[in-house]
Chains A and B, each alone.
Chain A
Amino acid sequence: DAGITQSPRHKVTETGTPVTLRCHQTENHRYMYWYRQDPGHGLRLIHYSYGVKDTDKGEVSDGYSVSRSKTEDFLLTLESATSSQTSVYFCAISGQSGNEQFFGPGTRLTVL
């Protein structure tokens, strides 16, 4: 398995609170991605990174921000969590453009 971990694995929080999810990789891969998975929607891209400090928005980026200050860590922040952000969040990594992605185990976030 690719060396990719996510923390926390489960989190329950209240509406309006900030939340940060962490993705950590040991593969030295250049590309990192955050997806959310919801019933009936499959996986949707939130943000991605193509290098340290290089990030861009995905399909469902509203309400989320990201940071990547070093190769191995990609942080996803919900500045003020809402119930619509209750979801399972997956991080993925890829070594090269055009190659497959390796996924982390996911973080289940519940916003009450």
Chain B
Amino acid sequence: SQQGEEDPQALSIQEGENATMNCSYKTSINNLQWYRQNSGRGLVHLILIRSNEREKHSGRLRVTLDTSKKSSSLLITASRAADTASYFCATDTSGYSTLTFGKGTMLLVSP
């Protein structure tokens, strides 16, 4: 079963614009993580937010978590063409850090 679901499925923007992706999940979590995947490559961890945190920043990334709504958002500010990739949210609900991934958002940033 899919725990996290990203929205939108695809997003196309211009360089310099902000990109916002949303993730909804179904059950209680230990933490929520965001990963990036460039075409044909492995996943790269971007940011982790724990269940007792509401907002976290890392460089141009801002993640929010609303456990009452079971949702998270990833904001990429001042997007660059190099940000073009698929972005996945993943929820950690076990004691062994097993992750349940959403289907991802494909982000296209045009120069």
Of B99, B100, B101, B102, the most chain A CB neighbours within 10 A belong to: B99
Closest to B42 in A: A103
Q: Are B96 and A56 in contact (CB under 8 A)?
A: yes
Per the 8 Å Cβ criterion, residues 37-89 of A in contact with B are 40-45, 48, 50, 56, 58-59
Q: Are B103 and A41 in contact (CB under 8 A)?
A: yes
Q: Are A99 and B98 in contact (CB under 8 A)?
A: no
Which residues of chain A come closer than 8 Å to B10, judged between CB atoms? none
Which stretch, B12-20, B43-51, B64-72, B73-81, touches the partner chain A? Answer: B43-51
Which residues of chain A come closer than 8 Å to B50, judged between CB atoms? 98
Which residues of chain A come closer than 8 Å to B31, judged between CB atoms? 98
Q: Are B2 and A101 in contact (CB under 8 A)?
A: no
Q: Is B1 an interface residue when CB atoms closer than 8 A count as contact?
A: yes
- Given the known A-B contacts A41-B103, A43-B88, A44-B101, are A97 and B95 also in contact in the complex, defined by CB atoms under 8 Å? yes
User: How far does the alpha carbon of A20 sit from the alpha carbon of B96 in the complex, in Å?
Assistant: 24
Which residues of chain B come closer than 8 Å to A35, judged between CB atoms? 101
Task: Give B residues with C-beta under 8 Å from A.
Answer: 1-2, 30-31, 33, 35, 41-45, 48, 50, 88, 90, 92, 95-104
Task: Give A residues with C-beta under 8 Å from B.
Answer: 31, 33, 35, 40-45, 48, 50, 56, 58-59, 90, 92, 94, 96-106
